[in-house]
Structure 1
Amino acid sequence: MNASPRPRLLAAGAATVTVVLWASAFVAIRSAGDAYSPGALALGRLLAGTLALGALCVVRRVGWPPRSAWRGIAISGVLWFGVYMVVLNWGEQEVDAGTAALVVNVGPLLIALLGSRLLGDPLPPRLLAGMAVSFAGAVTVGLSMSGGGGSSLLGVALCLLAAVAYAAGVVAQKPALGRASALQVTTFGCLVGTVVCLPFAGQLVHEVAAAPASATLNMVYLGVFPTALAFTTWAYALARTTAGRMGATTYAVPALVVLMSWLVLGEVPGPLTLAGGALCLAGVAVSRSRSRATARVVTGEPRPEAPARESA
């Protein structure tokens, strides 16, 4: 009994690393996106991530995932590492930042619904209430940021497609984590995404030659930290909780983006933006809280009558 809090703390720490690094990605994308087209940026990011993860696998002597995990790895690799990254980069060029934030933050809601439908994940009232509060905060942040640039119907559709690809990729990844390690699932998912983005190789070669060093360094940063490291810590945490709760955790990202833009880019947030960020964090706190009766179910601990594989 005394050992049980440690895995929960490690999972919470992994989730925290993920959301902080994913928030930092928005700042890096803003810089790299001026020099790289959406597909080239996605491919460069994935190449850097695959190289970093591959080197780690060699050092740790990590082998190939079992065949039973490949279906989930392949689907998440195509949808989340491949389609999501390209489409999101493209969509953010067609809409202002506020609109993108509004549409993409439909993703965690879709994760909870798909996880409940396809994985049998519970939807406790605290999770639903916390997600509602966080989504209201994301809407507030988005509205406060809107109007800084033009928005198109194509851009909104692309951001919505990105949210769907993200949600489907997460739900597909969850069962694979019951059969392979977080490092295996992330490494080979990133490799699949890289293969999907290979048609942009010509653009990447052409744009690397003309891009400033700062943009290329930001692209490499995106691959090593928000991709290689953050996707691995995400997978580690996802293996130890439900898809819905992990999706709800990502609602902390808009609040952190506001803070990082303030500190790094000097973009001073207005009162409405700050209020929205506070709502996002409050909703995450509610969604991550557990009643004593549901703690075992929400954390994914195996029930006595259920096989342990169901909780992975």
Structure 2
Amino acid sequence: MASEMSSLGKKKGLLGFLILSITIIWGYAWALMKASLDFMGPFTFSALRFGTGTMTMFLVLLIFKVGPPPKDKWRHLAIIGLLQTTVVFLLVMYGLRFVDAGKSSVLLYSMPIWSSLLAAKFLGEKIQKMKAAGLTFGMIGLITILGWDVLIDQNMTVLTGEVLIILAAISWGASNVYYRKKLKNITNLQVSAYQMLFGTIGLALAAFIIEWGEPLHLTPKSIYYVLFTGVLASALCFTLWFIILNNIDMVTATLSTLLVPVFGMIFGVVLLNEQLTPNIILGSIFILSGIAISQIFKEKPLPQHIQ
């Protein structure tokens, strides 16, 4: 595996293709997540998606002959799984009931802003001037999106969904900071697989408790949604992401993920007939610019486990 990754690093064109493919898949997955709500409850879909992804991830571990992490790290992996998979996707999927897929992807990918703020608080990382400028841009973007909805739309269900997705972004950022504090010498592949396992357990419990007895329509279309988001958007992309991270610097990799909400908005418009209003476009520009600035001037970039 090491030799394969080394040879891949010499093929910049292939790496660029992989990065573009991953971001397109993740952007497309947002439209599928929204569409899945026509067939089942949000928590049931998440449990099925990440259950499928977990099984695929452990198959990947077997293929690459990657053993389990040390037992003393399992508790920390469970906490990351709770923060990053259970909490994030409980909030995101419920929020998607009220918020368009494109706007949701932009709000969730405000995560680096919260990661930076939490890292300053709990890791003692200094917020330099340019990083502060990036955070300011990001906050202006969030206010542009939310403020417009408060003043013009005044739809409390939409606002509630938006707040839930921002809380999901904060939880994702918290999981990254926790990773930095508690987990070292653990490969990204191990972290992705085991946090997904523990996170799926939380999602399954939530689906069982809250959505037991609710309609579950398993059709070719809904099964496709589960398999695509579970196998491709989660397991396969995580594996490719692990390989990419071993071939390029973290800043470049992180900045490439800014394409995800862009594709999320495009697929939302094309597949779900969502509207791109001026506040969404302007707010998105502010958020993506702010994240780019803050990531470029990071001293120690936070690990990214993107789903």
Normalised-by-shorter TM-score class: 0.7 to 0.9
Task: Indicate the larger mover: 138-147 or 261-270.
Answer: 138-147
Matched, 1:173 2:179: yes
Structure 1 counterpart of 2:3: none
Rate the CA distance shift 1:298–1:124 in 2: closer, same or farther, 3 A. farther
| Match of residue 162 from structure 1 | 168
- CA–CA distance in structure 2, aligned partners of residues 62 and 254 of structure 1: 32
TM-score normalised to the size of structure 2?
0.72
Unaligned runs of 5+ in 1: 301-312
Residues 186 and 235 of structure 1 are in contact (CA less than 8 Å); yes or no, is this contact kept in structure 2? Answer: no
Do residues 219 (structure 1) and 226 (structure 2) align? yes
Contact 2:102–2:268 at 8 Å: present in 1 too? no
What is the CA distance between 1:263 and its match in structure 2? 4.1
- The residue type paired with residue 41 of structure 2 is S
Shift of 1:182: 0.9
Q: Contact conserved, 1:182 with 1:236, CA < 8 A, in 2? A: no
* Alpha-carbon distance in 1 for matches of 2:19, 2:176: 14
What is the RMSD computed on CA atoms of the aligned residues?
Answer: 4.1
Residue 110 of structure 1: how far off its partner (Å): 2.3
Relative to structure 1, the CA distance from residue 247 to residue 175 in structure 2 (aligned partners, 3 Å threshold; closer, same or farther) is farther
For residues 1-21 of structure 1, the C-alpha deviation after alignment (integer angstroms, 9 at most, x for no partner) is xx9xx69x8999987666544
Residue identity matched to 2:202: V
Q: Deviations over 1:42-97 (max 9, x none)?
A: 10111111011111111111110123533431111112111221222123325566
Please give the alpha-carbon distance, in whole angstroms, between the structure 1 residues aligned to 2:42 and 2:215: 11
Matched, 1:189 2:195: yes
- CA, structure 1 residues 285+100, in 2 after alignment: closer, same or farther (shift >3 Å)? closer
Give the number of equivalent residue pairs: 287
Q: Quick one: which amino acid aligns to residue 285 of structure 2? A: A
More displaced 10-residue stretch of structure 1: 189-198 or 131-140: 131-140
Say whether residues 1:133 and 2:127 are aligned partners. Answer: no
Aligned residue for 2:97, secondary structure, equals helix
- Contact kept, 8 Å, 1:108 with 1:248, in 2: the verdict is no
Counterpart for residue 78 of structure 1: 82
AA aligned to 2:89 is: M
Aligned equivalent of 1:287: 294
Give yes or no for the alignment of 1:151 onto 2:164. Answer: no
Structure 2: runs of 5 or more not aligned: 1-5, 303-307
CA distance in 2, matches of 1:62, 1:153: 43
Local SS of the residue matching 1:197 = helix
